[in-house]
Chain A
Amino acid sequence: GENVEQHPSTLSVQEGDSAVIKCTYSDSASNYFPWYKQELGKGPQLIIDIRSNVGEKKDQRIAVTLNKTAKHFSLHITETQPEDSAVYFCAANQGTGTASKLTFGTGTRLQVTL
């Protein structure tokens, strides 16, 4: 089955700096890669996603890149703010229907300090 590895496990940045979180996946059949933000006591919130036919996607301060050949994808957050502090999870799946179950990484705890 699919295996998703994520690093770093913790990341501390100063407000205004950039943060980068990296993930690798094992199954070349995976074609959808979402990123979730989880705050304490809440469920994961989808913040951005990318499909395998695209190499990069950007939404305001957040961007995701995908390298299919190397089987890795990354989340980039620019101009970090204290409200960006949370745990971030990458995930992967292989399509829709029965192939749509997500395999998650182990999470990155991001702390943005003033």
Chain B
Amino acid sequence: GAGVSQSPRYKVAKRGQDVALRCDPISGHVSLFWYQQALGQGPEFLTYFQNEAQLDKSGLPSDRFFAERPEGSVSTLKIQRTQQEDSAVYLCASSLVGGNEQFFGPGTRLTVL
């Protein structure tokens, strides 16, 4: 079946631009996570949704980062006024309600020039 999909796969932004990254979770998965993966590092948690409710945003690095999931399915991670340190791969994962297994999408590689 279809897995987690993310778009765009690659995004190049000039410093100061706003970007929006999209995640389509596996159908029926209630939980959705965003992670940031810097080059050569493991993924780091950004934020967590259960349905449309954002229950944990403790990992968002600054108020320039904003995530939403208005209908409990597709989610968008928005970064305002991008900085060079925002360059990373942004990964989305989803899981069943009450489940531990998280399934990841292919990621969006963001490069800020």
Contacts and interface: CB of A to CB of B under 8 A. Distances in A.
Contact of A100 (B31, B41, B42, B91): B31
A17 B5 CA distance: 35
Nearest to B4: A43
B48 A101 contact: yes
B48 A102 contact: no
A106 B42 contact: yes
Most buried by B among A6, A34, A101: A101
B42 A105 contact: yes
A32 B50 CA distance: 19
Q: How large is the interface on A (under 10, 10 to 19, 20 to 34, 35 or more residues)?
A: 20 to 34
16 contacts: A36-B104, A41-B106, A42-B107, A43-B106, A46-B102, A49-B101, A91-B42, A96-B100, A98-B48, A100-B31, A100-B33, A100-B95, A101-B59, A104-B42, A107-B41, A107-B42
B98 interface: yes
Given A43-B4, A100-B31, A32 B42 contact: no
Interface of B: 4, 31, 33, 35, 40-45, 48, 50, 55-56, 59, 91, 95, 97-107
A89 interface: yes
Given A43-B91, A100-B31, A93 B100 contact: yes
Contacts, number: 70
B104 A102 contact: no
B93 to A, nearest CB: 8
A-B pairs, 10 with minimum CB distance: A104-B42, A43-B104, A101-B45, A32-B100, A43-B106, A44-B104, A98-B55, A43-B107, A96-B98, A89-B42
Contacts of B50: 97-98
A36 B44 CA distance: 14
Interface of A: 4, 6, 32, 34, 36, 41-46, 49, 51, 89, 91, 93, 95-98, 100-107
B104 A34 contact: no
A108 to B, nearest CB: 10
Nearest to B96: A96
Given A34-B102, A96-B99, 4 more contacts: A42-B106, A46-B103, A101-B48, A105-B42
